[in-house]
Amino acid sequence: MAWYVLYTKSRTEKAVADRLRERGIEVYCPLIKTKRKWSDRVKLVEEPLFRSYCFVNLEEQQRSRVFAVSGIVRYLFWMNKPAVVRDSEIETIRLMLNETDNRHITVENFTSADRIKIKSGFFSDSEGHVINQQGKTLAVFIDSLQMVVKVDLSKTIVAA
């Protein structure tokens, strides 16, 4: 079975995931906790890591089962085929979300093109090169993901 990427209507990711679970479909909707501020209070809420996306683990011939659930727009495609996510990548996302951030960090200055390894946080054990640094925020090109991530040095340990 493969993990496929579902594109959902805006702000329906958690509800879609719940409805798919009720139908016996294995689904993963990675959530992060963030602080939201209203005029009268601040509250810790869970919101999707990837907006408008959920991952489902299905056999190829069972992919149409998901459309019985409202809120699903379509599958995500890559090169005219349904996008498939490897089990190891789903497990990496799960591990990154369960990692706790370290609070007592000293800020170092990095120069462009420095090679670093991220030691904690969402992208733990990822390696890349520094693109730039603005205060405590480091822009790093992660080789394995082929993308740029911004790392908060006050919450994440990195090593040169």
Residue 105's pLDDT band (boundaries 50, 70, 90)?
very low
Region of 79 please: left (phi>0), alpha (psi -120 to 50) or beta. Answer: left
CB 130 within 8 A of CB 148: no
Region of 108 please: left (phi>0), alpha (psi -120 to 50) or beta. Answer: beta
Integer Cα distance of 131 and 34 in angstroms:
26
pLDDT at 104: 33
Q: What is the mean pLDDT of residues 79-88?
A: 92
**DSSP helix/strand/coil, 148:** strand
| Class of the domain covering 2-98 | alpha beta
**DSSP helix/strand/coil, 141:** strand
Residue 84's pLDDT band (boundaries 50, 70, 90)?
very high
Residue 100's pLDDT band (boundaries 50, 70, 90)?
very low
Integer Cα distance of 126 and 119 in angstroms:
8
Amino acid at 22: E
pLDDT tens, residue by residue, 107-153: 456 777 788 888 877 778 888 888 888 877 888 888 777 788 888 87
pLDDT at 87: 92
The residue among 88 and 105 whose pLDDT is bigger is: 88
pLDDT at 106: 39
Checking 60-68 for CB contacts under 8 A at 24+ apart, the result is 60/2, 63/4, 65/23, 65/25, 66/6, 66/20, 66/25, 68/23
Integer Cα distance of 49 and 21 in angstroms:
19
pLDDT tens, residue by residue, 12-57: 999 999 999 999 999 999 888 877 888 888 888 888 888 899 999 9
pTM, entire model: 0.62
CB 14 within 8 A of CB 29: yes
pLDDT at 102: 33
The length of the chain, given as a count of residues: 160
pLDDT at 119: 82
- Residues facing residue 77 across a β-bridge: 82
Q: For residue 126, what are its two tokens?
A: 């990822």
pLDDT at 108: 56
Among 17-26, 71-80, 88-97, 118-127, the least confident range: 118-127
